[in-house]
Amino acid sequence: MKNGDPIRIDAERRELTLAIPAKKLSARRKAWKKPAPRYTRGVLAKCAAHVTSASLGAVTDDDLKL
């Protein structure tokens, strides 16, 4: 998403939609490059490399069965 892109919010369906043409979105995906890591050494680098996202629980052992 870029500044100024139109979005549609449907609160009842709990949906957020980027309202740009598929062709434009495809071109953006092709041009995207993974950013360099902010931290390359130390605890924060280890955390960034091994911890899952918050939506998955922010854990280092995602295969652990509770």
The number of angstroms, rounded, from the C-alpha of 2 to the middle of its chain's C-alpha atoms is 14
Say how far apart CA 22 and CA 28 lie, in whole Å.
10
Whether residue 25 contacts residue 31, with contact meaning beta carbons closer than 8 Å, is answered with no
**How many domains does the chain contain in total?**
2
* Whether the model pTM is above 0.85: no
**25, 1: one domain:** yes
**pLDDT tens, position by position, 1-47:** 788 999 999 999 999 999 999 999 999 999 999 999 899 999 999 88
| Domain encompassing residue 6 | 1-32
Shared domain for 28 and 10, answered yes or no, is: yes
| pLDDT at 64 > cutoff 80 | no
**How high is the pLDDT of residue 52?**
84
C-alpha torsion 20→24→26→55, nearest 10: -30
Considering only residues 28 and 57, tell me which one the structure prediction assigns the higher pLDDT. 28
- pLDDT beyond 70 at 65: no
